[in-house]
Amino acid sequence: MSDTMTQSFRTISDEAYRDLEEAVGAENVSREPGVLDGYAWQPTINDDPAKWVKRPVAVALPASTEEVQAVVRACNKHGLKFKAFSTGWGVYSGPTYDNVVQVDLRRMNRILEIDEKNMYVVVEPYICGAQLQAEVMKLGLNCHIIGAGPACSPLASATSGWGVGWDGVYMSYGHRNLLGAEWVLPDGEVLRVGALDSGLGWFNPDGPGPSLRGIMRGSAGALSGLGIFTKCALKLYNWPGPADMQVEGLLLDAKSAVPGCLRFHLCFFPDRPSLAEAVYKMGEAEIPYLFTRTAVAAYIFTFAPHLLRRIAGTGPLRDVLSKSMKWGCTVILAGSSEDEIAYQDAVLRKIVDDFGGITMEATSAPAIGSMVLMNFLRVTAIPMVFRAGGLFSTALARNETWDTQLDWAEVGEEIKRKWIERGGILDDLADNPFMALYENNCWGHCEEIFQYNARERKHLESLEPMFVEFSVAAMEMFMEPLSVTDARLREIISPMMGHYNAWQKRISQTLDANRAADTGMYCDEVDFDLSKVEPSVRERLDRLVRELTWTEEGPPGEAPGGSSST
């Protein structure tokens, strides 16, 4: 992304532009430079200090599956590429080539069906989490919202990207909630995934025959690199609270009445083993409605960054936050009756007590309960993570067991501590994990958040070396680093993970013979300058390449015929 300022600006031919006008209507397509620049501004998770991605040659706003097909076919006809986005959160939404038509799906903004009895919803791409939740709560239902916030598209994370939420302990994970999808392929044909293709409705995302979900999304999604999703069905869950959550104010000023069916607990434990085992017990008891482990200092840095800066300079208070209150978690309970919520509350207190912890029930505390309720239920506090420095990034190793994720949190903390001491990122006391559970602790998620100031050259110069160091640490733990989705390290990492990107390229070639999709975020590879990486980290990376690279026979250490050579 760092070469965007040196790229020349390409224009679209009049003939191609006329075909786009015919596809969506003249009022819904533009090639005006000012409009196009608005789509090139993508600062979030962008390593380029200029904060711009490549400018598209045109932008088209289709309103239906048929119009999406027409736009895709026009791109195929004229040798252009397309890149679609739903609500457009992050640099992943922008073009990576110079001849891209940006497909803005904001006109596809309908909830098509809510099946109250069978607990699913059918949505178009531009429906966001907040809109969907507000509607389904009226029917006693709720939906999964990812940690990126309520402005994000549930369709996007379920079909094309990723994202985990605090509600995952009860409401699972986007792509595991998928019950079917309508998919415009890179050649303009439509594929309907699951039972929908047989005319049987939106109840099963697989078959008949082999599942396509591994191809269409896999671990992290193709980010429009394999086509455009125009509809999908998503599973819904029970909501025992009121049909209309009355909220006054925004963010820190937000206040809402806490329903009697909810309990909000802050739990703290004396050490890591106690926390780990207690959380396993919570999952086994199937009581959390929302769950997160986020450090107290991280909460303060998000809501009151100036306060944490003052605390960071005081030894005793710093120790209280980073040591005495280190092993904590936040749990929200939800019950459909007074007896159920009382039972859940008693079980949680018993678990906390069994493992030597304490819990503070803060549901009715005026300064906490009423302010944080919707910040958790609707994830509205997430935009405040930008407040401390203007931008943030994250280091995650893909989903694993809870114990493994606790390991990753400690590894990430140590890496961050080193860069904080060097002045490479902002000081959040280093321990800033965003941790969540899936499906009653079936497995867990952890990413280490770090904030930085894009106006500080030292911060910008730290990003790529940190990116590599986090990736190396994840590979050493045999976890999947976030960099598998990044063209800069994909070429290095793919051979150590079964040559996954070779398979992605084959899938792309099969479905997209004309190379009409922008595959920069899906399967492209670019050379990466490792000269900024510390020699010791580079040595660790080289060792991993030697030891973990797959051969034609299979994984490292496997002899021909499948038997181990060790």
Cα separation, 50 vs 57, in Å, equals 19
Pairing of strands 81-85, 100-104: parallel
201-210: pLDDT as tens digits: 998 998 777 8
State the amino acid at position 391 in one-letter form.
Answer: L
Number of H helices and number of E strands within the chain?
18, 20
Query: Bigger pLDDT: 371 or 243?
Result: 243
Query: Bigger pLDDT: 389 or 367?
Result: 389
Q: Find tokens 């902002």 and name the residue.
A: 426
Measured on CA atoms in the order 195, 196, 199, 200, is the torsion positive or negative? positive
**pLDDT above 60 (res 161):** yes
SS3 letters for 188-257? CCEEEEHHHHHCCCCCCCCCCCCCCHHHHCCCCCCCCCCCEEEEEEEECEECCCCCCCCEECCHHHCEEC
Question: DSSP string spanning 415-456?
Answer: HHHHHHHTTSS--S-S--EEEEEETTTTEEEEEEEEEE-TT-
Residue 106 structure tokens: 């904001």
Q: What percent of the chain has pLDDT over 90?
A: 68
Query: Looking at residue 50, what is its pLDDT?
Result: 63
Residue 566 structure tokens: 């060790």
Name the band, by pLDDT with cuts 50, 70 and 90, for residue 558: low
70-98: pLDDT as tens digits: 999 999 999 999 999 999 888 888 999 99
**pLDDT above 80 (res 120):** yes
Please compute the mean of the pLDDT values over residues 425-432 and round it to a whole number.
Answer: 93
Eight-state DSSP code of residue 564: B
Cα separation, 127 vs 109, in Å, equals 5
State the amino acid at position 416 in one-letter form.
Answer: K
Query: Looking at residue 315, what is its pLDDT?
Result: 79
Cα separation, 224 vs 242, in Å, equals 37
Q: Which domains occur in the chain, in start order? A: 4-104 (3.30.43.10), 111-238 (3.30.465.10), 253-458 (3.40.462.40)
CB 228 within 8 A of CB 103: yes
Which pTM was predicted? 0.93
**pLDDT above 70 (res 229):** yes
Name the band, by pLDDT with cuts 50, 70 and 90, for residue 49: low
Pairing of strands 178-184, 100-104: unpaired
Residues 311, 316, 318, 321, Cα dihedral to 10°: -110
Residue 39 burial (10 A CB sphere; 0-12, 13-18, 19+):
buried
Please compute the mean of the pLDDT values over residues 37-66 and round it to a whole number.
Answer: 86
Q: What percent of the chain has pLDDT over 70?
A: 95
Query: Looking at residue 433, what is its pLDDT?
Result: 92
Residue 527 structure tokens: 């050379």
Query: Looking at residue 305, what is its pLDDT?
Result: 84
**pLDDT above 60 (res 5):** no
